[in-house]
Chains A and B, each alone.
Chain A
Amino acid sequence: MIDFSQPTPVILSEVRQISPTRRELVLNMGPQHPSTHGVLRVRLTLEGETVIACDPVIGYLHRGVEKLGESHRYAQFVPWTDRTDYVAAPSNNLGYVLAVEKLCGIQAPERAQYWRMIMAELTRIASHLVWLGTHALDIGALSVSLYTFRDRELILDIFEKFCGARLTTNMMEIGGFSREIPPDLPEMVREFCRYFPKAIRQYEDLLTENPIWLARTKGVGVIEPEVAINYGLTGACLRGSGVNYDVRKAMPYLLYDRIDFEVPLGTHGDVYDRYLVRIEEMRQSIRIIEQCLDQVPTDGPLMAYESQYVIPPHKNVMTTAEDMQRHFIWVIKGFSPPKGEVYHAVEHSKGELGYYIVSDGSPIPYRLRIRSPDFVNLQSLPYMAQGAMLADIVALIGTIDIVLGSVDR
């Protein structure tokens, strides 16, 4: 029986012993290192080129985002979510606004939900493109990164057209969108959907059957399904191991249950499978976007209305006294959701992104916690790294798909 009155003893395995034996070499990868994707530091114990122990050291980009959330009003925190996983900002926005909407018991109009799905899937593609480019670059394929960034520009152009910003978009708002969809945006997205499968084929031509790529990724960094589940991995890291868990299917949010799409699952759980899974996810995202564009109503409200939690439309503020007062209160004081706690997860490009909010009825969250997928996924690095080669470490860091802003928050 575990005695909960006593502090849990922390057992440092012998792997973590600080002084290496004479045959070993301790190598500090990072925080300033070209392939640690920001400021990850990995402390490697090497024997020859074989990794004996690997300790990821995080926190170099810790900005206290969660604590900041506990001192900002609900709507003020949306821009902060952009800055956690900065290559997939709209998805972060989405997770947070959905959690707040769940807390307040409101729902965005159908049209806004479709557009949220479109933007989330575009974000997924953009994030996977960054991942693919940097992952390939880490393994030494120089050109892929430039191709993927070329195509990511198209997505960022769509974002820019929609909300004016490219990277930290601050796109989603509590209750929907307050801006109207630009009239030529649907055509822009359709054009992208027509173009992008060709681009995927281009990446696959460079990598999928490339013998060196296969040699570098097949059988490397295997995570068995049990291990993946035990580590709490989500996203492609979990699905690469063959476990079928996708928040969009398992706990459908927005209108994903109306969309016909498939969840790719790997069969071997190695770096190559995660690569295949993510490539396929990009294809599926295109499918989702196309269906959304077909189904989305051409007009209708984009913002929930008649609610104390949502900022009133600009036009009403200018014309009606009640809405002007509501707007005034909303801006000056913020809104106060009911007391309670809520957890809402979305399928982020890196896995399950969850926001846990405790509300004490004041306009500021009592507690805000972000379950960022790459923080959890990163914990599998030591497991994968044991017995791997030094060169595999960069492939392993790449395959987890981390963004340090999100890991350190």
Chain B
Amino acid sequence: MERTSKLNGVAALFETPDEIMAAAEKTAEAGYEKFDVNTPYPVHGMDDAMKLPPTKLGFVTLAFGLAGALAMLGLMTWMMTIDYPMVIGGKPFWPLPAFIPVMFEATVLLATVVTVGAMLAIYFKFPANAHPLHDTDYMRAVSKDKFGIMIEAADAKFDELATVEFLQSLGAKKIEKIREIADPEPPIFSKRFVLLLAGVFVAVALGTYGTLNKALFYTPFDWMSYQPRVNAQSASVFFEDGFGMREPVEGTVARDEVLYEYAGAETHPEIPVVNPLAATKENLAEGERLYDVYCSPCHGYHGAAESRLRKQFPLPPSLHTEKARTWEDGDIYHVIHEGQNTMPSYARQLTEDDRWRVALYVRALQRAMNASEADVERASEEASDE
């Protein structure tokens, strides 16, 4: 390491632990503050000799130990009791006995790691390889088996000659002057470092994306997101036509299948069929909803063929014609089930009860659109007393 001429301090080497103890006491008594004793191993009693105040590291440990315990308790309570409480083994949502072990572990972890971290980073201000003492004969000797005192130039009482003389008076075997370091403070963001940063960023980003979105979905990883079964409305490799769902064999009758005996018949049913559903409030409300969903695109909301299909589909006749109003319920059901002229069959989209509900609502619509006087009065009375 290049050195500048500026003096950092003076260092003296001693042979035996007793010598260094005596030297340290004398240096302290001599009034020096910014001095340090370097020994290959901790020498008992040196702290008192150098009159050092007791270390406060213990309080850091206490603080972070408690913090660890409480933080862990809080974390576990929030997770198991507040955020997602689950019934586990009949235990209450706040199983304190089960929290104790993990709290203890967190206490120990935080206490020890933070203490050492604090000691190294704050007390010692490590890493400090750039300290002037390094790469000097003094440091090599002290590292092995010698003991040394180093008085810094910055000390108030420091005077180059007087201090050297003082050290010799203590019986130092060897005195060495320690110069400041000349190497410049290297810049943090050198070109190569920025390149490295970019490389790390890209590598980690691609790695994360590749793993989370791609790699984790190959054999043998199995997440059961796609299972070897045929879901509803899914493709199948087994059948040539690619349909996962199969048509039932014609001529078979399912357990709760309702067969409409006039299916395919041209004319309407001869025997008049009355709507089996009672005109209750629910049936009518449901009928209205179904009408608005399935019938209103062509027949309009009020059955007067105000179609919303932008004239792409021929207009149906109005439901309020004389012919329509005199139809039997069975006829309306038949048209819904079979369709008529351009109107397709709605048997697929409406269940049997729903078809009768739509028929009910159509009847109500027809009555409403050309209501008699009596209807109007009764309607207004009901509206008023609601």
Do A and B come together as binding partners? no
